[in-house]
Amino acid sequence: MGRFFTGICGVLALLASCRIPSPSSSWTVMTWNVQNLFDGIDDGNEYPEFDPGTDDWNDRLYRRRLDRTGDVLLAAVDGGADVLVLQELEKPGILDDLAEGPLRGRGYRWRLAVPGYGIIRCGVLSRYPIRDVVVADCGLWNGRSLRPVLQFCLESPDGPVTVFAVHWKSPRDGREPTEAARIREARILHGRIAGVLEVHPDRPVLLLGDWNTPGDAAVRPAALAPAELRTADGGGPAILYRSPDPDALSRSGDVPVFYDPEPAGAPGGTYVFRDRWERPDRILVDPNFVESLGPGRCRVGGAEVMADGFGRPYRWISDIGEGYSDHLPLLLIVDPGDRPENRRFGNDEP
C-alpha cells in the first residue's frame, strides 16, 4: 500500500503541433466519469454488459459510444476543455481512439493513462505538456485493486501546476463499510501533496475526479469533510478538508483545507441518486492555486446534449444502444480576470 512509480506511463503521445495559449488566455479543466467506456476487443475480462464475446457488445456500439462521448466533450466547452480527466476507461488506447476520432484536430497532443490496477482506469487528454508522472498505488480492498492516485505536472499557460486525478472507492456496498477504503486513498493523496509542496512550496495544486463521496463527513472518521469540522489542533474527523469559501483555506498543520467551488447555475450536481442531485465529482484547489491563479470558476457542463426529459444524465444503455453516462462533466475555468490583482471571488458563468 502506498507504493508509487514515476515516469511516462500508459499512453503519453506527442503528435501534431498545436498552439499553446499565452498566459493572458483563459484555460479550462474538465473531470468526467464516462461510465464504463469499453472498446470492442474481447480480452476476456470485461464487465458482462460490455463483453464482445456476447451479443450485447461489439465494435459498432463502441464507436457509437465514442461519438456520443465526443459530442458531450465538445459541447461542454466549445471545442473541448484544454485538459480532460476521464474516469472509467477500459484501456489507455481509448484515449487514442477519442483523440484521433471524434476529437480529431482539437490539439490533444498529450495523453496519459495507466494500465493495470483493475478493469477500468483514469485517463488524461491535454493540450499542454504533461511531465513528472507519478502513480501512487492505493493497495487492495477485499481482494481487488483500488484505483491509484495519478499525479503529474501540467505545463499550463500560467506555469507548472501539479495535478492529482482520483477515482475513489464506490460506496455501492454502503458508505459506512466502504469509508475505510476512501480514507486510505485520502491518506495516500495527502502524502503525495505534502511531498510536492515540500519540494515546490509555491507550486499550485489541483485535485479532481470522482471522489465517490459528498464530503459531508456524515460517516466518521471521514476521507473528506467540510472545513468547519476541522479542529484547531488538527485532529479532526477527516483526512482532507474542503470549503466553498476561498478565504477559509489553510495549509497549516497536517490537515490542509482546499477550495471546493460550488458550480454556478443548474443543475445542482453531477449525479442523481434516488431522485436527488449529488456531486461525487469535485475539483479542489490549494491556497497556492488561489493566490497565484485566482479561485477559478466552476460549472457543470454537457446537460444540453446528454440530459434526459427530466434534466438528469442520460446514462448509456447497451440494450438499446443509446445514452451517454450516468454523470455530468464538471469544469473549472481559470481566467486572468480572476487573478489576485483583479480578484472577484464567485462562480459567474464565463
- List of the chain residues with pLDDT < 70: 1-24, 231-236, 251-255, 340-350
- Residue 156 located in a structural domain: yes
- Check whether the bond before 221 is cis (ω within 30° of 0): yes
CA distances from 17 to 100, 103, 108 (A): 14, 15, 10
Residues 246/290, Cβ–Cβ less than 8 Å: yes
What stretches of 172-248 show up as alpha helix (H) in DSSP?
Answer: 175-199
- Distance from C-alpha of 67 to C-alpha of 104, rounded to nearest angstrom: 11
Grouping H, G, I as helix, E, B as strand and the rest as coil, residue 193 is helix
Amino acid at 107: G
**Residue 197 in domain:** yes
CATH number of the domain that 156 lies in? 3.60.10.10
Residue 208 forms part of a structural domain: yes
Decide: residue 55, CB within 10 A, 0-12 exposed, 13-18 middle, 19+ buried.
exposed
d(CA 53, CA 243): 47
Does residue 350 lie in a domain region?
no
pLDDT reported for residue 234: 53
Q: Whose grid coordinates read 480572476? A: 338
Query: What pLDDT score was predicted for residue 6?
Result: 42
Name residue 117's beta-bridge partners: none
Taking only the tens place, the pLDDT of each residue in 248-288 is: 887 665 667 999 999 998 898 999 999 999 999 999 999 99
* Tally of domains in the chain: 1
- pLDDT of amino acid 347: 44
Whether 28 is covered by a domain: the verdict is: yes
Query: Does residue 350 have a cis peptide bond before it, meaning omega lies within 30 degrees of 0?
Result: no
What would the pLDDT profile of 185-233 be if each residue is shown by its tens digit? 999 999 999 999 999 999 999 999 999 999 999 999 999 999 988 865 5
Distance CA 200, CA 161 (A): 10
Q: What does the block give as the cell for 162?
A: 501539479
What pLDDT is recorded for position 294? 93
pLDDT at 26: 93
Q: What is the pLDDT of residue 236?
A: 64
Q: Which three cell numbers stand for residue 214?
A: 459528498
What CA–CA distance (Å, rounded) separates 28 from 45?
A: 35
Given CA atoms 104, 89, 71, 333 in this order, what sign does their dihedral have?
negative
Q: What residues make up the domain containing 331?
A: 4-342
- Domain membership flag for residue 29: yes
User: Do 100 and 74 form a contact (C-beta atoms < 8 A)?
Assistant: no
- pLDDT given at position 321: 92
Residue 347 forms part of a structural domain: no
Q: How far is the CA of 28 from the CAs of 74, 186, 333, in angstroms?
A: 12, 25, 5
Could you count the other beta carbons within 10 Å of the beta carbon of residue 344?
Answer: 12
Per the structure block, which three cell numbers stand in for 155? 505545463
Judge whether 184 lies within some domain: yes
Q: pLDDT over 70 for what percent of the chain? A: 87
